[in-house]
Amino acid sequence: MELRETPLPGFGKKYTLTLSTGEKITLVVYQSGQRELYLTERGEEDPICSVRLTDEEARELAFILGGVRYQPLPSDKMSLIFRELVVEWVPVENACPIAHKTLADLAVRRVTGASVIAILRGETIIPTPDPYHELIQPGDILVVVGTRPQIEKLIPLCRSQA
């Protein structure tokens, strides 16, 4: 695999990734945020297909490619995970005890045993939130990993106490 970066003065940047198969994926990132993606077969000069992406579409694709949305696991690890580990999306309600506090303030992992691996805030995903600086907001959805009993300890903290 080889990655080549080429500045395009006044336009943006071009990235060309040569795959182990010899195919090339070229990404042109314009200053406007628009992206163009091209696939070129091994030994060819002209691309066989192209896709134009908005900034938002490109970021969503990056989340998928980067494993934020889904990470497949080998089957031997899947059986262990399904026996013990749970991933849960926990909504943070208004007036709950954890609103406007950091994960470090709350000591979530120490108190519950569960780990917050991401925060969904509207259309924004905050992967591996900074435990000392990222404040949990009402309306956030916490992506939590742990055993079922650990997550059950966390859920009441995310509910309104009124």
CATH classification at residue 138: 3.30.70.1450
Identify whether 18 is part of a domain. yes
pLDDT classification of 85: cutoffs 50, 70, 90:
confident
39 domain residue, yes or no: yes
Query: What is the pLDDT, as a whole number, of residue 63?
Result: 76
Q: Would you say residue 81 has pLDDT above 60?
A: no
Same domain, 105 and 139: yes
- The domain boundary, picked from 10, 33, 65, lies at 65
Q: Which domain holds residue 55?
A: 2-65
- Domains identified in the chain, total number: 2
Whole-number Å distance between alpha carbons of 10 and 32: 11
In a shared domain, residues 89 and 114: yes
Residues 130 and 134: their CA atoms lie apart, in Å, by 5
Domain final residue, candidates 15, 46, 65 = 65
How many angstroms separate the CA atoms of 24 and 68, rounded?
24
Token pair of 162 as six digits: 């009124």
- Specify whether 6 is located in the same domain as 42: yes
Q: For 107-159, how does the pLDDT look when each residue is reduced to its tens digit (9 = 90+)?
A: 989 999 999 999 999 889 999 999 999 999 999 999 999 988 999 999 999 99
> For residue 80, what pLDDT band results from cuts at 50, 70 and 90?
low
In a domain, residue 70? The reply is: no
